[in-house]
Amino acid sequence: MTLGGVDTTQLSSKTMEARDVPGLYFIGEVVDVTGWLGGYNFLWAWSSAWAQAI
């Protein structure tokens, strides 16, 4: 596990689209979200993908 990634303030929380580059989306572990170990990374990956897809 590593830290870092795309800053969440640069993304729309509803669509995961980059604020500065329309049409560019980031989901999962490329986004700078850090949580406890134990499956939370999977939850974030699935949740961010769902947010982007709907």
Q: What is the pTM of this model?
A: 0.71
Is 32 part of a structural domain of the chain?
Answer: yes
Q: How many domains does the chain have?
A: 1
Q: What is the pLDDT of residues 5-25, one digit of tens each?
A: 999 999 998 899 999 999 999
Is 34 part of a structural domain of the chain?
Answer: yes
Is 13 part of a structural domain of the chain?
Answer: yes
Backbone angles phi, psi at 38, to 5 degrees: 115, 40
- Give dist(CA 22, CA 36) in Å, integer: 31
Is 30 part of a structural domain of the chain?
Answer: yes
Is 54 part of a structural domain of the chain?
Answer: no
pLDDT tops 70 at residue 2: no
Is 3 part of a structural domain of the chain?
Answer: no
- Give dist(CA 37, CA 47) in Å, integer: 16
Question: CB 50: neighbour CB atoms within 10 A?
Answer: 11
Is 12 part of a structural domain of the chain?
Answer: yes
Residue 24: which domain range?
8-47
